[in-house]
Structure 1
Amino acid sequence: MEVQRHGGKLYEFASLHSSPDNAWEHELTGLTGAPGTGPCLSIVIPDAAPDDGPFTPMPARHAFVRAGGGQVPWPVLTEFVDLVRAAGDLVAEPVLTAADTALPLTLNAWEHDGRRYEVNQFHFADNGSWCYELHEVVPDSTANHYIDVQIPDTQPDGGPFVPAPSDRVTLTMHGDWTIPWPVFDRFLAAIRAAGDIVDP
């Protein structure tokens, strides 16, 4: 268990065995505010041999992310993901190519295990930021589950977009959504590849 502080708020990283999922779960939870009101994000790695000995992670393509709502600062998110990778539970991860992480300025469609996802990017004038958005295409669904990463614009009133330092970037989770780990990881990698994540 580890606690991180960012912008006056506390975030806890924890790892535990999830019996209902037969999986190992790495969880990021916001501690500031009333219980249950902070952000909650989990990376879940299924056990390849749940009835036989110690935890054996399945390949990373079987892992998934539970985005339970709320907002997480980019530095906290990346520290969390780095710790999960360092734990060695994300095995046999696919190597992302430049083509995988290229995001055109129009809507971009991804496929994973028969499911379709769309990535969009646009200038969010309401709060002066550049926004990257990921959602699953589910015909006839009325659910509104998606995630977005917002990068504040340091000159929102004129001129080209100039990204603010990464300590002001946020991931916001809307609704309660389960995302395949490869899709979530590709989304983060594509944002980094776009060059809009700037060190403080």
Structure 2
Amino acid sequence: MNEIPGYRIVAGFRTDGVAYELRSTDPAADGPYLDIHLPDATPSGDHFTAMEPQHAEVHARAGGSVPWAVLYWFLGKVMSIGDLSGLRGPAQPLPARQVWIHDGKRYAVGPYTLSEDDGVTSLIEVVPGESLTVRGTCWIPWPVFRRFLEAVERSRSQP
């Protein structure tokens, strides 16, 4: 089932791959705006062939927050398809100031304000166990997003 109270998953093909979007079922809602894009390894072919998971991206846009339980439901459904089943292994710990560097770009997680001088590409605010909120618009590489979720989850389980 691709729907729970208040939210649904919409999957669709694009010219360069497939996207799984998390949408609110309330037409008046402001968000969430979150989708996972899987690039096609054979875009000129007759069928979709997903690239390796490290090429997938999470597209997030400001507007509304995603409750933690809804986010995990969405990710569980998308990961059950199998195209994102790679990249297993332990999560990297949250680095100082919660900034990751991936392919030369900086990604930040935290409840604080960063200046443009920090060179941060994207800022995700998290209230573990409650919600995820994105500031701005960003494409977050799947490995960064997945490691971020694992690190947040691990921090929740520590005393």
TM-score category, normalised to shorter length = 0.7 to 0.9
Q: How far 1:33 sits from its partner (Å)?
A: 4.5
CA contact (8 A) 1:32 1:38 kept: no
Residue 12 (str. 1) matches residue 3 (str. 2): no
Measure, in 2, the Cα distance between the counterparts of 1:38 and 1:114: 29
The alignment yields a C-alpha RMSD, in angstroms, of 2.8
Mapping for residues 5-154 of structure 1, pairs under 5 Å: 5=5, 10-19=6-15, 22-34=16-28, 37-69=30-62, 70-91=64-85, 93-97=86-90, 100=92, 102-103=93-94, 106-120=96-110, 131=111, 145-151=122-128
Measure, in 2, the Cα distance between the counterparts of 1:149 and 1:52: 40
Change (3 A) 1:46 1:138: farther
CA contact (8 A) 2:109 2:126 kept: no
Measure, in 2, the Cα distance between the counterparts of 1:55 and 1:144: 30
| Long gaps (5+) in structure 2 | none
Residue of structure 2 equivalent to 1:154 = none
| Long gaps (5+) in structure 1 | 121-130, 152-165
Q: How far 1:150 sits from its partner (Å)?
A: 0.9
Aligned residues: 156
CA contact (8 A) 1:65 1:179 kept: yes
Q: How far 1:89 sits from its partner (Å)?
A: 1.7
Measure, in 1, the Cα distance between the counterparts of 2:157 and 2:139: 26
Alignment-mate amino acid for residue 66 of structure 1 = H
Structure 1 segments of 4+ aligned residues over 3 angstroms from their partners: 137-141
Q: How far 1:138 sits from its partner (Å)?
A: 6.7
* TM-score, with structure 2 as normaliser: 0.83
1:95 match: secondary structure: coil
